[in-house]
Structure 1
Amino acid sequence: MSGKRILLIVGGGIAAYKALELVRELRRAGIGTTAVLTKAGKQFVTPLSLGALTEQPVYEDLFDLKDETEMGHIQLSRQADLVVVCPATANLLSRMAAGGASDLAATLLLATDKPVLAVPAMNVRMWQHAATRRNVAQLRADGVTVMEPDEGEMACGEFGPGRLPEVPAIVAKICGLLSPGAKPLAGKRALVTAGPTHEPIDPVRYIANRSSGKQGFAIAAALAAQGADVTLVAGPVNLPTPAGVKRVDVETAREMAGAIDAALPADVAVMVAAVADWRTADAATAKMKKGAGGPPALALVENPDILATVSAAGARRPKLVIGFAAETDSIVDHANTKLAKKGCDWIVANDVSGEVMGGDANRIHLITASGVEDWPELPKGEVAAKLAARIAEALG
């Protein structure tokens, strides 16, 4: 992607803050960015922050005298390899479909002779409204690429399609448009596990680990964006299935082990799930009641060691097996021990003594045969994109 440039038009809406993360990831991919900030977008991100990340002037006003003396809006519309509207609000999509030219963003979109990608983000009712559906259909008929939004909880509290797609998915779409067919993991099969397992004690109680599943789902999305055929074995979590990913839902460790065995062989396995180490020997068939004798004694037995089993799968063993180690102390030491004990190729270790579980950021240590890489704290989507890039490099 080195030498490629995009013109990024940042619309209004709470999702505008993710434009900053998008610029960072594009820079990592070698893609330069020039930003145009709409009046509404300026309510959520500042020209200073966008300019610092793009290392370019940020454009806002159609009637900047110096630029317009040089017909700056025409130059801006032609200099990039791709125009990206992110987030593309309902209002922006409407103006694009109608061919309006009331501000700099709309004028650039009307004047450009380059491909255009729109990345929608809006309330679920606005996305599903007949007017928005007509606008999207018109834009696609006009040759604009419009991504489908993700499904999930909105900032307004409602649930459904309308969320901005995850940044790794946007980056992958941009890379695909800039260099069609450039999918480093095309033809590769990936297996990812995510979330906790629930081990029943009785019909209403269970043993579990604290896990939101966010990191595993982000990794599955990043691998799919790189072209891999991804199977995601997910414990009980309430997260939308990433685009292009085959999802298998399970509850217990034994169910997860069975689903993994059915998904093999694969080229890479990324074992992110927080699998419960133990289960009750015999789960009660009825709710256990309090009694005068105190709490009942629970007989525990070990669950299958999924990571060790995959690492020792013989001819069905993935070429690259990656385990995760959630630790509260001596992070690297415990991870090195786990790497040797489980027989996997890499361990991704992270400190979960703070607020990592359920959060949106992670600080990890990547342990391989070559040593330890300490990564800075990053959003989980960026961790996923970086790990997917390393996986693509390792698989060649």
Structure 2
Amino acid sequence: MTHTTFNFKKLILAGGTTFAMLAVPMALNSVTGLNLGVISSAQAAEDGGAKKGSANKGGAKKGAANKGGQGKGSDKIFRAPVAGEEEDSDRPVWAGVKGGKSGGGGKPAGAGSKKGDLYGDMVVLLRDANGVPLLTTDGLVQVIAYVYDATGNLVPLKDASGNLVVIPYVDGELATSIDGVAVYSAEVDLGRLSVGRAPDKVLTHSLDEALSKLTSGTVTLDSSGRLAVDGVTIDSPLENLALYDTYMTTGSLPGVTLPTGFNPASLLAAASDKYGTITVDTVVYMNSILGINSGTTYFDFSTTNYDRYTTWANAKAVVLVLKDGVYVPTEVNLYEAVFNSTNWTDPTTVGGADDFATAADDYRAVIEFVHDNAVR
């Protein structure tokens, strides 16, 4: 198949190789034949946040620590860096400073202690297909081991057979090395989604604002899959997060007839950083923070299935394309422009949390593309 070549203002690229952390790794006290070059640093960053965490400075606890995340496959979108550009230019003040202790955003001002102090160490964990942490026989979470590669990037550790390795426990504490190789946990960066830790009244107010719009006119989907009213997109991150919380908790939005093709993953995407990455970690941690998960009861993703081709093959958007030295509004096919006509290959045999996370990150990638190349 021949595809039209466009010169966009900003371009994001789709990766094609799949790596998932839903498979059982080598949970051993001694691992031989380590392979530190299995995946690229770009893929590693996607698999689990690739930011050194602090979980290996102390034993992982039972209970709240079990509400952890897990990296999904490296099959999503990688954004080509633009020289001199501020990567977090769309990060609002209330998202805090990137790289904060609790997964990137830090506690918003006035957040209080109820949510803000929970989930202090959010790191990449071994999970089942539904995103539930797999525990050791002692009831402890299994933390995926990361190492620094030759270029100084934090990447998931794999054995010679390509299996992911988890950090063993020594006297109840996470080990700091395996066979003499220093290992680290990978912190999950929630970015501006960290506002989910704010007092309930923050999201309650945002929900009221969003519903007042959605019940005032005709609800459709914009070109990136977000909800729109009479052609005006609901683009507030807070409002989208409030809608996500409500829909995932109740299965509907009160008083709103949702359009054909609506996917709740688009709400999480619209609430997140456009230039971040949504993984299974992100989804499960946010569901726990918002109360969608409760205790050891997790949202059931077993019937969730996502197909990128079916979702985006016929989707189009009008964006600016460079023609003869001038940017011209042009209608493009999003499956070609954003995903390079590459479908997502599900690493599991059934639907699950990775399907939902991939869908959310794909919506995020389309939102990013349309935003960066929008006709203004």
What TM-score comes out, normalization by structure 1 length?
0.24
> With CA pairs under 8 Å and 6+ residues apart, which has the higher RCO, 1 or 2?
2
Larger strand proportion, structure 1 or 2? 1
Larger helix proportion, structure 1 or 2? 1
